[in-house]
A and B are shown apart, each in its own frame.
Chain A
Amino acid sequence: MALSEQSIPEAILSVENITLSFGAVRAIRDVSFDIKKGEIRAIIGPNGAGKTSMLNVINGFYHPQQGQILFRGMVRKRMRPHEAAGGGIARTFQNVALFKGMSTLDNIMTGRNLKMNKWNVSLLAAMFYYGPTQKEEILHRQFVEKIISFLEIEAIRKTPVGRLPYGLQKRVELGRALAAEPDLLLLDEPMAGMNLEEKEDMCRFILDVNAEFGTTIALIEHDMGVVMDLSDRVVVLDHGEKIADGTPAEVKANQNVIDAYLGVAH
């Protein structure tokens, strides 16, 4: 899985000297790293290290006070989440954020929203339905069905997601993110609260997404075993600062990381 650094020269996203504060609290201090095209990049760190804040900065939900983000080589202006999504960044959330009363199918369909032709799905066109609107629906339904088959969730296609166990909800959420055909997929703790079998399934899906669609993936994860197995490179944050960056093996051996996780004797 490990791709050598030379073979993927192009960074899809660079984070440069980002600082993010909430009032007097500095969540992220002067952090820089990049995410290369096609890799699986992990962001790890102890609780409160600023991982989720970093993800929120990347997808435009938070605006950093300092620093800039380059997406596909272009400096990104203040961007709102839906613009980030339109630009090819999709994400999942630490606490599942699905429409509980809607079916799996409909939830994933919402991920197609940005890919739909505005005129074909406008209220006026939808009133007539037959013709362009129907064509549009068939097109997107087909794409969603491919995702359903890919994630092996055919059996819950019509089930309201609120009735599903947690592990499956996570999978549906991944499906919705994939529906946007992202170039960069942000996963916020995709394995949190899962049992071993669910984790193994999820690992396989993440690797398959990366291999089959060539999607670049940035993930936050607590389970060290998962991170070390999955990712090509790891960046470690602690108290809002970057303390290490490199391959899983390098990071594992880094003294700063060991101190941050195990604590230092004072």
Chain B
Amino acid sequence: MNDVANSLNKNDTFPKLLLHHAKVNPTSAAYRQKHLGIWQTLTWAEAAARVELMALGLHSLGLKPNDKVAIVGQNTTSLYLSFSAVQAIGAIPVPLYPDSSATEMSDILKEAEIKGAICQDQEQVDKIESLTSEVKSIEFIVYEELRGMRQYDHKHLQSIETLSQIGKDFKSKDPKSFASLVDQGKGSDLAIIIYTPGTTGTPKGVMLSHDGLQKSARLAADQDNISSKENILAYLPLAWIGDHFVSYAQHYVIGFTVNCPESPDTLFSDLKDIGPNYFMAPPRIFERLVTQTKNRIENASGIINSLYHYFMTLADRVGAKILEGQSVGLTDRFSYALGNLIIFGPIKNNLGFNHIKVAYTGGAPISDEVFSFYRKIGVNLKQIYTQTESSGYAFLQSNDSVLENSVGPAGPGVEVKIDNKGEIIYRSPGNFLGYYKNENATKKTLDKDGWIRSGDFGTINGAGHVRVIDRLIDTGKIASSLQFAPQNIENKLKDSPFIQDAIATGSGKDFVAAIIVVDAEATGNYLEKAGIGFSGYTELSQHEMVFDLIQNNIKTLNEELAKTQDLAGLQIKRFTILHKQLDPIDGELTQTGKLRRNQVSKRLKKLIEALHSNKNSIELPSTQDPGQSRTKSSMVLLKIRNARHTEDNGLGN
């Protein structure tokens, strides 16, 4: 570990780290990417050589220190390398979400005065090109994939190959220039601007330094003993701090191998191919894998089914304990080993999780059931609380302190406290430098002593475990006295495999109501088993049997809530099932899968009003945005049900 620490002092920027690896481990694999069905390896030496040419190419195009360059596309080796190429000349990469529309991109491009863009493919080039008249600062666009690009006007446009050729010509005239450019970088320099997706309001550009990113990357890796031998799969959006932290910052600091999937669709088979040792995912991915597994087991033969349930019951009791190294009786240990051989092992293998040393879930809350499923079968899944403002983690669970309901204690080097309004505030080694061109927001979030306001409402228990309850801005009052945190209720709802998303409403109203989004696969299976056909999601979601099923789920939850004094008044009184799934493209979720409560409340205003009245149904347009649909949209009749059949007010005992 000391080696790493020493090398960090000297190699205080990411391009310097890259050159360090190229010198020290030139032949170890830096990246792998599947191309034409075969995993192609790129060594550290090759990576550095490619970065050099790209950087010199950008330099020749006139890119200057502190210019901003947008990077947009899926996770490809070339795009990861372009981060270093941009940083090597002191310019600032600004990653964007590839599924953002041109309009969504335009505000960011304008604010950051983007000088150029590095795009993965034609789709992204088209978006950026359509903005060149609006965003005057754009001077060049570079693209990775040649496909479909032949007929474009190449005046301000070039492929990465052409760019590298320009760089090569430059190098032949001045062979030492790259090293001297890299030398000029300092650890305290701005390394990257990451725009937060913004569950509320407009995106803000978070400025992070090389120092901050490197420090937090090293501290977190050390806590988990992440070594240069690990393999990870890089598939999360480049523009999300979680990916930048693991697949870029930790990758450079530690020197492990980053594997890029063949295409976004092949994620799960690539996961199986690679069998990563270290894995981070938003809860959505973990939830999806559990639902899939459970469905397959349900459809498997009777023997497998009973074996599964037998061993899962055992795992319920001892699985997590064995993982945490607590003492467990010899018989149980033996049975668990047997279970591992015939049930848990094959499941892990199928999910690509059999080599996992550490897995993290972050970015959004995870349901207890999903979380404990993985720990039971021996996957060391832990929670991490990431904020862009902390360069990665703020709180994370260490191997010996995993508590289902919490995101863990303060991470290494982090201090945390709760202020008088209940807001979690912290100070971390990866503290951000401020919001780009937004002094006001910076002042509101970061105080002069370095404390960051997280915007989250939460508690800390005696052992220092932080529990996040909801966004502070979303918490409200029910019946004008009870504290109501919608996310808390929503997470409990999402424990059910049939519920994919939930929206709890009721702030400023008399009672809590819920809008449910059912899981298509699990619910579909349930209906099919009962021998009921359906033609699509809308029909599935509005089926009486599905309403009964969800009503039962809610009843169970209400009973659980009734047991706690603070929560008894938050029992769900009325609910409905939405006829469509929530979608980031419709602005209902952020690209990382978090609910955009403002947007959704606006869109579903009528439905929410109906929920809090005594109507039994409401008609909604089938597409939520009539302006966007090409044809006149049809209407859907949504049923609304009381959680209890009797006409009492549901507010309980």
Give A contacts to B, CB under 8 Å. 141-142, 145-146, 148-150, 152, 154-155, 157, 204, 208, 211-212
| Cβ-defined contact, B37 with A157, below 8 A | yes
Q: List 18 A-B contacts (CB under 8 A).
A: A142-B36, A145-B36, A145-B37, A149-B35, A150-B147, A152-B263, A152-B265, A154-B34, A154-B262, A154-B265, A154-B266, A155-B263, A155-B265, A155-B266, A208-B147, A208-B148, A211-B148, A211-B151
| A146 to B262 Cα, complex, angstroms | 13
A156 to chain B, nearest CB (A): 8
Interface check B269, CB cutoff 8 A: yes
Distance A144 CA – B265 CA, assembled complex (angstroms): 19
Residues of B within 8 A of A152 (CB): 263, 265
A145 to B148, CA, bound (A): 18
Q: Interface readout for B245-263 with A: 1 if CB under 8 Å, 0 if not?
A: 0000000000000000011
Instruction: Tell me the bound Cα distance from A86 to B35 in angstroms.
Output: 30
| A1 to chain B: closest residue by CB | B151
With both beta carbons as reference points, the residue of chain A lying nearest to B146 in the complex is identified as A212
- Give the residues in chain A near B529, CB-CB below 8 Å: none
> Given known contacts A146-B36, A149-B36, A157-B37, is B147 in contact with A212 (CB within 8 Å)?
yes
Q: Which residues of B have CB within 8 Å of A211?
A: 148, 150-151
CB under 8 Å from chain A, chain B span 119-151: 147-148, 150-151
Contact partners of B263 in chain A: CB under 8 A: 152, 154-155
Chain B residue at minimal CB-CB distance from A147 = B36
- For B151, what are the chain A residues with a Cβ–Cβ distance below 8 Å? 211
Which B residues between 243 and 294 are near A, CB-CB below 8 angstroms?
Answer: 262-263, 265-266, 269
Alpha-carbon distance A150/B151, docked complex (angstroms) = 17
Task: Write out the residue numbers on chain B whose beta carbons fall within 8 Å of the beta carbon of A154.
Answer: 34, 37, 262-263, 265-266
Alpha-carbon distance between A155 and B265 when the two chains are bound, in angstroms: 6
Q: Which residues of A contact B148 (CB under 8 A)?
A: 204, 208, 211-212
**Which residue of chain B is the closest to A156 with respect to CB atoms?**
B265
Give every chain B residue within 8 A of A155 (Cβ-Cβ): 263, 265-266, 269
Distance of B579 from chain A, by nearest CB (Å):
19
| Alpha-carbon separation in the docked complex, A145 to B151 (Å) | 25
Q: How far is the CA of A50 from the CA of B648 in the complex (A)?
A: 70
Chain A: minimal CB distance from B174 (Å): 37
**How far is B37's CA from A145's CA once the two chains are assembled, in angstroms?**
7
Total number of A-B contacts with CB less than 8 angstroms?
32
Q: Do the beta carbons of A212 and B36 come within 8 Å of each other? A: no
Asked whether A212 lies within 8 Å of B150 as measured between CB atoms, the reply is: yes
Contacts of B34 in A (CB 8 A): 154
Question: 11 extra interchain contacts, Cβ-Cβ under 8 A, other than A155-B263, A155-B265?
Answer: A141-B37, A142-B36, A148-B37, A149-B36, A152-B263, A154-B266, A155-B266, A155-B269, A157-B37, A208-B148, A212-B150
Per the bound structure, the CA–CA distance linking A261 and B378 in Å amounts to 66
- Taking the nearest CB of chain B, how far is it from the CB of A195, in angstroms? 12
Task: Produce 1/0 per residue, B190-220, CB < 8 A to A.
Answer: 0000000000000000000000000000000
B residues 150-170 with Cβ under 8 Å of A? Answer: 150-151
CB distance from A207 to the nearest CB of B (A): 8
> Which B residue's beta carbon lies closest to that of A105?
B37
State A157–B36 Cα separation when bound (angstroms). Answer: 11
The residues of B that contact A146 with a CB separation of less than 8 Å are: 36
* B residues less than 8 Å from A145 (CB atoms): 36-37
- The smallest beta-carbon distance between A115 and chain B, in angstroms, is 17
Per-position 1/0 for B606-641, Cβ under 8 A of A: 000000000000000000000000000000000000
Residues of A within 8 A of B269 (CB): 155
B352 → A minimal CB distance (Å): 15
Residues of the A chain whose Cβ atoms lie less than 8 Å from the Cβ of B265: 152, 154-155
In the bound complex, residues from chain B placing their C-beta under 8 Å from that of A208 are 147-148
Q: Which residues of chain A are near B266, meaning CB under 8 Å?
A: 154-155
Please, what's the 1-or-0 string for B23-34, where 1 marks a CB less than 8 Å from any CB in chain A?
000000000001
In angstroms, Cα B397 to Cα A150, docked, is 43
Chain A residues, Cβ within 8 Å of B37: 141, 145, 148, 154, 157
Residues of the B chain whose Cβ atoms lie less than 8 Å from the Cβ of A142: 36
Cα A141 to Cα B37 with chains together (Å): 10
B36, B262, B269, most chain A CB atoms within 10 A:
B36
- The interface residues of chain B lying within 8 Å CB-to-CB of A204 are 148
CA distance A149 to B269 in the complex (A): 16
Q: What residue in chain B is nearest A149 (Cβ atoms)? A: B36
Which 3 pairs show the lowest CB-CB distances between chains A and B?
Answer: A155-B265, A145-B36, A155-B266
Residues of chain A within 8 A (CB-CB) of B36 are 142, 145-146, 148-149
- Min CB distance B127 to A, Å, is 16
Output the least CB separation between A203 and chain B (Å): 12
Contacting residues, chain B, for A149 (C-beta < 8 A): 35-36
- Identify the interface centre among B37, B150, B266: most chain A CB within 10 Å of its CB: B37
Least CB distance from B373 to A in Å reads 25
Q: Which residues of A contact B262 (CB under 8 A)?
A: 154
* Contacting residues, chain A, for B147 (C-beta < 8 A): 150, 208, 212
A142 to B36, CA, bound (A): 7
Q: Please measure, in the bound complex, the distance between the C-alpha atom of A154 and the C-alpha atom of B265, giving whole angstroms.
A: 8
How many whole Å from A43's CB to the nearest CB in chain B?
Answer: 26
With both chains docked as a complex, state the minimum distance between the C-beta of B417 and any C-beta of chain A, in angstroms.
Answer: 47
Min C-beta distance of A208 to chain B, whole Å: 6
Please give me the residue from chain B that is nearest to A150 by CB atom: B147
Q: Please, which residues of chain B bring their CB within 8 A of the CB of A148?
A: 36-37
How far apart sit A22 and B262, CA to CA, in the bound complex (Å)? 50
Minimum CB–CB distance from A152 to chain B (whole Å) comes to 7
Instruction: Give the shortest distance, in Å, between A222 (CB) and chain B (any CB).
Output: 20
